[in-house]
Amino acid sequence: MSNCPKCNEKLSPFYMKQNCPKCNTNLVYYDLDNRLQADHEKAMREQEAVERVLNNIKTSAFGGALQIIRFVLMFSPLAWMCLPMFKANDGESVTLISVIMGIIGGGFDFSNPSYLFPVITMVCIIVFSLVVIISSLFSLGKKAFLRNTILSIINLLVLAVCIILTILQGANIGAGAIIVVVTYIIENIMHKLVDKKISK
């Protein structure tokens, strides 16, 4: 239900005609010039807001060498997961590629915990890394450093728990998992360095 903009007559949502049944005003074009002006002003406000966000992202991710290194580093776990993350209890290496190929080929043994837990670990790495990446894209602002650091520490703790649980299921830790842990530690240091640089 809406009203005629000129005479305020109530119009049913199913009333389809262009003209008001009471005052015959063209409902599509009434006050068009002012509505276009209002749309223009709204569009410019939205554009300014987007530009502020884009500037924040630009400075946080690509504003200097440190930011670029941190940004690349945060994506690097994806590459490290292609290295052997764990060795299952039957001696087979579990990597991101072997998991994907195993799932597509239908031969992945989810019933074996020494295979299942590495998969859970990898899912956690992907999900939590994404959260940290998104958070770090907004590193301008008073609480940004604190937020980035807390999220990175949570990320590291979750990974540590996942690794311990995987080892308890009979798997052995591989080079990939160790490098991911080291990467997360460096990430925390990078947050501090980037924050110092941005604060200047």
Partner 1 sequence: MAENKGDIRYVGVKETLIYGIANAGQCFGYNIIAGSYLSLFFTKVFGVPPTAVAAMMLFLGLWDTFNDPLMGSIVDRTRTRYGKLRPYLLIVPIPLGIATILLFAGPQLLGDKVTDAAKIIYMFVTYFFWELFYTLGDVPFWGMSAAISPSPSDRTRVISSARFISGILGGLSTPILTVLMDLSNKGAIPLSLSQVFLLMSILSATYGMGLFSLSGFFTKERVVQTIKEPSILDGFKALIKNKPLLLIVIGNVLAAIGGIGGFFSAYYYSEVVQMNSLTIIIYLPGTILGFITYLLIPKVKERFDNRQIIFLNGFVRLIVGIIVFLVGVKCFTNLWVVVPLLMIQNFLFSFFNTINAVIPTEMIGDTIDYMEWKTGQRNEGVSFSVLTFVGKLTGSISGTIGNALLPVIGLSFVQISATETMTVKAYEYTDTLIWGMFTLAPAILGLLPLIPYIWYDLTGDKLNQVREEMAERRAKLSIEVSGGANNE
Question: Rounded to whole angstroms, how far apart are CA atoms 173 and 86?
Answer: 5
Of 3, 10, 15, 146, the one binding partner 1 by CB under 8 A: 15
Amino acid 44 reads: M
Q: Which of 94, 108, 100 is nearest to 163 (CA)?
A: 94
Compose the 39-58 pattern: x for residues touching partner 1 by CB under 8 A, - for all others.
xx-xxxxxx-xx--------
The strands making up 93-94's β-sheet, listed across from edge to edge, are 93-94, 86-87, 172-173
Q: Which of the stretches 10-18, 116-124, 130-138, 157-165 binds partner 1 when contact is defined by CB under 8 A?
A: 10-18
Token representation of residue 198 = 């941005």
Is residue 143 a contact residue for partner 1 (CB under 8 A)?
no
Of 3, 8, 26, 55, the one binding partner 1 by CB under 8 A: 26
Q: Which of the stretches 11-19, 151-159, 168-176, 181-189 binds partner 1 when contact is defined by CB under 8 A?
A: 11-19
Compose the 152-181 pattern: x for residues touching partner 1 by CB under 8 A, - for all others.
------------------------------
Residue 91 falls in which region: left (phi positive, over 0), alpha (psi -120 to 50) or beta: left
The least CB distance from residue 183 to partner 1, in Å, is: 23
What are 193-197's contacts with CB under 8 Å, separation 24+? 193/66, 194/60, 194/66, 194/67, 194/70, 194/139, 195/139, 195/144, 195/145, 195/148, 197/64, 197/66, 197/67
Using the minimum distance from each CB to partner 1, give the nearer residue, 42 or 192: 42
Is residue 106 a contact residue for partner 1 (CB under 8 A)?
yes
Contacts of 66 (CB under 8 A, 6+ apart): 190, 193, 194, 197
Of 68, 82, 97, 103, the one binding partner 1 by CB under 8 A: 103
* Total of chain residues touching partner 1, rule CB under 8 A: 31
Question: Which positions touch partner 1 (CB under 8 A)?
Answer: 6, 11, 15-18, 25-34, 36, 39-40, 42-47, 49-50, 103-106
